[in-house]
Chain A
Amino acid sequence: MAIIELNNISKRYRKADTCAVEDVSFSLEKGEILALVGESGSGKTTLLRLIAGLEHPNSGIIKLDGEVIVSGRKSLPANKRQTGMVFQDYALFPHLTIFENVAFGLKGLNKKEVEKRVHETINLTGLKEDVKKYPHQLSGGQQQRVALARALAPRPELLLMDEPFSNLDTILRDQVREEVRQIIKAMGITAILVTHDTKDAFTTADKIAVMLNGKLLQIDTPDALYNDPNSSYVAELFGKSNNVVATVEPGGFKTPFGFVTGPKDCPMSVNKDKVNLFFRAEETDFCNAEEPHLCGMVEQCMYLGDHMQLKVCCNRCTSCANDCEKGAVEDTQRILLRSSVQTWKPGDIVRFKLKNFKVKETDSEELL
C-alpha cells in the first residue's frame, strides 16, 4: 500500500507568476526511497515542505498512510504528521546537547527508554562523539549524523531530507550517501530526499522524480530514467546525450555522420522520412576505417580526468573507404563522444560505431 500519496498538488506563492508546484501527483510504497531532482527553483523543496506540513497547497490532496492529511483548507498540523525532516543546514538546536537534540522528538517514553532509544539511534548513524557535546563542537559530517539521528529517533513513517548532502565535501559525501541509504533501508523507513545532484539520486534512491518549473516530468527507477528518458531535459540531466537527425532508408538510417544499420527489431513502422537517433556519449565504440563506421572531425576536446569528451562535427572525411560524404546534410550537426584514449586533438578524424541507440520520431522532438 502506498504510504504517501499526492493527488494534483499545486502551490503558488504570492506575487509569483508561475506555480512553484503545479499539478503534481505520485505515490510511494512503504520502504522506498524517492529522490526529487531538479535545478534550484524547480519546486522540489516546496514539494517537500508541503508534505511536511510547513506549507499549505492551493489545491490537491495528500494522503499519508491512507489518511487524508491535506485537502482544501483543512490540514493536519506539521507536529501531528510524524514525519522526520533533515534540513539542508541541519537546523540543530544550538543550545541543546547532542543527546537533547536527538531526544527532543521522543514522547511518552520514560527516562530509561529515552536514553536507550537515543543511544540506539546514534549508534545506528555511526556517530562516535560524546553526546554531551554541543552542535558547534562538531564537524559538518558529524552534525549531519546528529540531524539524521534526531529525525529518526521517533521512528517516523516518512523521512524527508532537503539537500542532505550538499554541505559535505566530495569525499565525505560519497561515504555518507552510502551510509544513509543503508540506515534507511535497515530501518525500513520510507524516505524522500531533495537534491540537485544526480549522483546523489542515483546512489541513494529507488525511484527518481525529475521536476522542472514546478512540474513533475518523469518519475521512475534510475535505470529507466537513464535509458528511457521521456524528454530531452531528463536525458540531459543524467549524462551527455546526442540527438542526431536521420533519414529513414532501407535497412537503416542515413545521418550526417554516415549510415547506421537499423537494429533487427527496429520499429520500421516509423512512417516518417526523418527521425531522431538518440544515444549517450558513452554508447559508442571507436573503430578503424575497415569496419563499417560513422565518422566526423574533432572540433573541441575537453580533458576530464579519467576520460576525454570530444565534440565532433560532421565534417566530411575523404580519407576513408566508407562513403560518408553522402551523409552530409545542410547544417552541421555536432555530437559528444566519450573517449578513454586521451590523445585526441582538434582536427582529428574520428571513426566510431553506435553500440546502442533509440529511434524517436521527429515530431516528438519537442519532447525530446
Chain B
Amino acid sequence: MAKRTTYWWNKWTAGAIVILLLVLTPIFTILFKLFDKPGEHWRHISSTLLPSYFINSFLLLFGVGVVTFVIGVSMAWLVSVYNFPGRKYFEWLLILPLAFPSYMMGYSYVGILEYTGPIQAFLRNNFDIKFKGPIVDIMNMPGAIFILSISLFPYVYVICRASFMRQSSAMQEAAFLLGSNRMQMFTKIALPMARPAVAGGIALVGMEVLNDYGTVKYFGVDTFTSGIFRAWFSFGDINTAIYLSAILTVIVLILIWLENFQRGSRNWNSGNADTKPAIRIWPKHKSTRWLYTALCMIVLLISFIFPLSQLFYWVSLTWRNVVDSEFGILIFRSFSLAIGSALAIAVISIFLLYTIRLSPLWWTKHIARTASLGYAIPGAVIAVGVMIPMMGLDRKINWLLSDNVGMILSGTLFILVVAYIVRFMAVGYNAIDAGFQKTGASVNEVARSLGASSSRTLWKIDLPLIKYSIAGAVLLAFVDILKELPLTLILRPFNFHTLATKAFDMATNEMIAESANASLVVVLTGVIPIIVLNNMISRKE
C-alpha cells in the first residue's frame, strides 16, 4: 500500500508559494519603503508639486469616472434593451476603442484639431473659415478627461452590458406587470441590480487613469505617475520615486477596498445560470430607432473611427520614410517580447489555478488571487518595485562572482518580462480561471480517482479542455503588453524600443505624424482579439 502523506502539502503547493513570493515582491517592496526615509528631492516635491499631483489625479479620476459612467451605461442599456438598425454590430463595435491606447488617441485628436488637420483644412478650403491654432485646445485637463474617457468607457460598457443581459426576462416582465415603464425599469431595477458591475467597471477605469503616463505627459497634466517619472528621470532620485509610488499604491488599494466594500456580499443577479435574457424591443417610432442608431454611431465615430482615420492619414503621408527594415525589426522585437511574456503569464496562471484546484484548503484561493493584484497597481509603480530588488540582486551577483558582469538582471529584457508578468498576471489568470470554472472540478476528480497522478490529470484532462481559454489568455495578455507604455519606458534596456515606446518617443519629439506608423500596428493588433472573442461568443449564442 502506498504511503500516506500530509494531505495539503505537495509539489504544487510548494511551487505556488515560490511563484507568489516572486510576484508579490515588488508590491511589498514598495509598501515597505513607505516607512523608509524619502529621498532628497522629497521636500521640494512635497511642498511644490505634491498638492497639484493630488488635485490633478483626483480631478482626472472624477471627470473620467463620470463621463465613462454616462457613456458606458447608456450605450449598454441601448444595445441590451432596444432593437434598432445596426444594433448587432454596435454591440461589439463599441468595444473597439479598447484597442486604442489612450496616449495614441491623444496624438490623433491633436492632429484632427490642429491647423493642418482635416477639419480646419476642410473649413478653410470650402468656406474660407480660418482659426488661429487648433479649433479647440485639448492640451489641458478637460482634454485629458475627454481622451481618457473615450478610450476607457468600454470597460464600463462591457461589464454593464453583461450585467443587463444576465438580468432575467422574468424580472423585467414582473416589473412591467407591476406597472413600470421602461425608464422606471432602468432606474429602479436594472441599474440598481447592475450597481456592483458598474462600480467594478469604473474601478477598472480608475486604475487605468492612475496608470496612464503617455496622455497626461503629452497634455501637460501633472499626476502622480508623471511625478514618479519626474523624480526618476529628471531628478534621478529613486527614493522619492518610490515614496510617490507608495502613496499611489495606497490610493489604489483604497480604491480596491471601496469597490469591495460597496459590493459587500451582494450578488443581485439571479443565481439561475440559464435565465432567459429579456427580449429586445423595437421602439415604436421609426425616428426613435434611427436616433438610437445615430447615438451609437456618434460614440463610435468619436471614440474609434475618427482617430483611426487620422492614423491612416498620417501613415499614408509618412510610411515611405518610416517603414524600413529597422521598423520590421522593431515590430518583431515588440511582438516576440509580448508573446514570450504572455506565454509565461499563461504558464504561471495555470500552475497557480491548478494548485487551487487540487488544494483541499479554502484559503489557497484567496492567497493565489493576490498574484493578480499587479493589474491594479500603476505600471510605473511596478517598474520601480521590480527595479529595486533586481538591482540589489545584481549587486549581490557581481560581488559573489567578484567580477563585473554588469547589470545582468536589471539591465536586460529579463526585468521587463518579470515586470510584465507582475503587471498583467490578472489578465491571463482570469481568462484561464474562467476556463477551469467552466470545465468543472468533477472531471479532474474522477481522473484522480481512476488512479491518474495530478500531473497526468493536468496534461490529459484539464489542459485539453481549457485550451481555448489558454489561447484567449495569451492573446489578451499579448495585446495588453504590446500597448504598455510607462513600465516599458522605465525598465527597457538602453536603446531598446517597443512599438509603444517608439510611438511615444516620436510623438514627444515633434514627429507625431511619423509616430502613427507604430501606433497603427498596435491599434490594429489590439482589434484582433476583440473580433476573435466576439466571434467565439456569437458562435456560442
Contact = CB atoms under 8 A, between A and B. Distances in A.
Contacts of A68: 4
Contact of A56 (B2, B360, B450): B360
B451 A80 contact: yes
B360 A78 contact: no
Contact of B453 (A75, A79, A85, A93): A79
Given A83-B449, A91-B446, A56 B7 contact: yes
Interface size class of A (residues with CB under 8 A): 35 or more
A364 to B, nearest CB: 40
A79 B452 contact: yes
Contacts of A91: 440, 442-443, 445-446
Interface string A296-317: 0000000000000000000000
A105 B451 contact: yes
A95 B454 CA distance: 18
B5 A75 contact: yes
Contacts of A79: 448-454, 457
Contacts of B8: 56, 73
Contacts of B360: 55-56
Nearest to A13: B362
Given A56-B7, A69-B4, A93-B443, A85 B449 contact: yes
A70 B457 CA distance: 23
A14 B465 CA distance: 30
B449 A84 contact: yes
Interface string B370-394: 0000000000000000000000000
Given A105-B450, A150-B450, A154-B450, A75 B4 contact: yes
A52 interface: yes
Contact of A104 (B1, B440, B447): B447
A71 interface: yes
Contacts of B446: 85, 87, 91, 150-151
A78 B445 contact: yes
B4 A74 contact: yes
Nearest to A55: B360
A73 B362 contact: no
A53 B453 CA distance: 13
Contact of B447 (A53, A83, A93, A95): A93
B317 interface: no
A285 interface: no
A108 to B, nearest CB: 10
Contacts of A150: 446, 450
B147 to A, nearest CB: 45
A74 B8 CA distance: 9
Interface string A130-163: 0000000000000000000011001000001000
Contacts of A160: 449
A160 B453 CA distance: 19
From DSSP, what is the main secondary structure of chain A's interface residues? loop
Max chain A C-beta neighbours (<10 A), residue from B6, B445, B446, B461: B446
Contacts of B328: none
A76 interface: yes
Contacts of B362: 13-14
B452 A105 contact: yes
Contacts of A151: 446, 449-450
Nearest to A87: B442
Contacts of A82: 451
Interface in B424-469: 440, 442-443, 445-454, 457, 460-461, 464-465
Given A91-B440, A94-B465, A73 B7 contact: yes
B3 to A, nearest CB: 8
Interface string B344-387: 00000000000000001010000000000000000000000000
A264 interface: no
B464 A95 contact: yes
B438 to A, nearest CB: 11
A107 interface: yes
A67 interface: yes
A53 B7 CA distance: 9
A89 interface: yes
B260 to A, nearest CB: 17
Q: Which 9 A-B pairs have the closest CB atoms?
A: A105-B450, A91-B442, A75-B7, A74-B4, A80-B2, A85-B449, A56-B7, A79-B448, A78-B448
Interface of B: 1-8, 360, 362, 440, 442-443, 445-454, 457, 460-461, 464-465
29 contacts: A13-B362, A14-B362, A52-B445, A53-B448, A53-B449, A54-B448, A67-B1, A69-B4, A73-B7, A73-B8, A77-B448, A79-B448, A80-B451, A82-B451, A84-B450, A87-B442, A87-B445, A87-B446, A89-B442, A93-B447, A93-B461, A94-B443, A104-B450, A105-B451, A107-B451, A150-B450, A151-B449, A154-B450, A154-B451
Interface of A: 13-14, 52-56, 67-71, 73-85, 87, 89, 91-95, 104-105, 107, 150-151, 154, 160
